[in-house]
Amino acid sequence: MRITSLAVLCGLSALYPMAPASATETAAAGGTSEKSVQEEMAELRETVRTLAVTVEEQSQLIGALQRAPRMQPLISAPYPGPVGPPGPAPQAPVTTTAPAPTPPTGLASLNPEIGVVGDVVGNASTENSGLAGSDQFSFRELELVFGGYVDPYSRADFAIVLNEDEGIEIEEAFLTRFDLPFALKGQVGKFRSKFGKLNLIDLNALPMVTEPLVIQNFLGPEGFSHTGVRLQRLIPNPWDGFLEGTIEFVNGGDPEDECRIFCAGKNKPIVNSHIKSYFDLDDVTGLELGASLMAGPSQDDADRYAHLAGADLTLTRHMPGSKKLLWQSEFMYASRPGDTGLSLADVLGVESPEEAAEMLGALDEAEIGDLLLDLERSRWNAGHDGWGLYSLVDYRFHPKWSAGTQFDYVQPIDGSLSGDQAWAAAGWLTFHQSELMLVRLQYQHTQFDRPFFLDDLVDDHRDDLFLQVRFQIGVDRHGLQ
């Protein structure tokens, strides 16, 4: 589009029309000097030339933009991430298919999501056990998170954890495939199993410092994370609400690792199933209910199968002033068949517990250590059922402050010498400096029901004071969560 000086002059004439001069006016203007008229005409011509140049430049710019290839918008991958004060409880989906999220396009599709999370914990304890993290500060976790869309149908997520005591560990590394036949979503790789609620959450992202006793004893000190395949689907239901079903096939546990129940080896697969439902009780309150069942060989004999069942409940309520109340509880029951375990009297070759206690007093420390090892092996090989639970409440009473409390109980099934049962009570106060950093102070009292022959060797209780500092840069989430 080219604008000529004539066109601009016509436009100025339209904007500023001039009435024809009468004879009187013409005579009156006769005194106007010819120089003044020439100056005004020169100014007008200069203005017209300036406007013409400006319009020509704009026209060339518009033409260049129209000829340029159309660019795709750079959309970052969907990331809920840490958020500020929560809003009303979200509405639960009611569809029977799980639509795939929209992957980023353009240059953003080439850049994975990256995040680094640091978790430092200080512990002062009344039990001088020499365990890592006891009566000292420790860098509990340095977590590296990577994730991104492989293509419009798939997404990859990775989480690598480094700590001072165990070195480098692949915590999660899995591929998610959307829009599978029969409205399924699939995942393959190493992931945290969908058993209950807390097992899905990283250690550094828990609402408290330490995991409940039932999680540590039944699923492991850092949760249950194995390599395998998972399938998920939203299930149609009469009440047209959110109902999700999950089934997993994963490798069994390695007896040389910190295995708890399913320890027949990696070549002995474990099957896990989980079902979850969500309800809106009102505009600000949501209730989530879940049930889980895991089964697999517990020993080298493939005919011996162990079972772990669980149920979970989570109630979330959002209140005015950025306040939020969380109530969460889980119950687990474990059954592991096996041989009849030996008693202390059996190991020492005597008839009664009293004779065993008398002989125990005559042993030196090395002999007592060998004896306890034999007892531990006996308890490990013994068939045993156990159960446990925890219940916690966390209240966000201020945008930057929250407080919580927890009670948990367990009947140990891992062959440890913590006794027939243990319970713990804890309370914590958290300062949320920002979305990416928090400081938490927690006190916990743990009570053990020790065997009588350990009364003079090991304390029957433990008190711990924890100080946690958690900080991050970038993203902090896995597609699974």
Q: Is residue 166 classed as helix, strand or coil in its secondary structure?
A: coil
Region 109-125: mean pLDDT is 89
Whether the CB-CB separation of 467 and 136 falls below 8 Å is answered with: no
- Convert the pLDDT of each residue in 164-211 to its tens digit: 877 898 999 999 999 899 999 999 999 999 999 999 998 889 999 999
Structural domains in the chain, sorted by start: 106-338+383-474 (2.40.160.10)
pLDDT tens digit sequence for 296-340: 887 655 567 889 999 999 999 999 988 999 999 999 999 877 654
Instruction: Please calculate the CA angle 95-99-101 and round it to the nearest 5 degrees.
Output: 140
**Residue 65 in tokens:** 């933009």
Q: How confident is the model at residue 35 (pLDDT cuts 50, 70, 90)?
A: low
Position 43, amino acid: E
Contact 342, 378 (CB under 8 A): yes
Going through 126-268 in order, the beta strands assigned E by DSSP cover 136-151, 154-163, 167-180, 184-192, 225-234, 242-250
Q: What is the pLDDT of residues 200-243, one digit of tens each?
A: 998 889 999 999 999 988 888 888 889 999 999 999 999 888 99
pLDDT of residue 466: 96
Residue-averaged pLDDT of the chain: 77
pLDDT of residue 301: 56
- Reported in sequence order, the residue ranges of 352-460 that DSSP labels E, i.e. its strands, are 384-398, 401-410, 422-434, 437-448
What's the predicted TM-score (pTM) here? 0.68
d(CA 305, CA 451): 28
Q: What's the rounded Cα separation, in Å, for the pair 227 and 251?
A: 6
Q: What does the pLDDT read at residue 66? A: 57
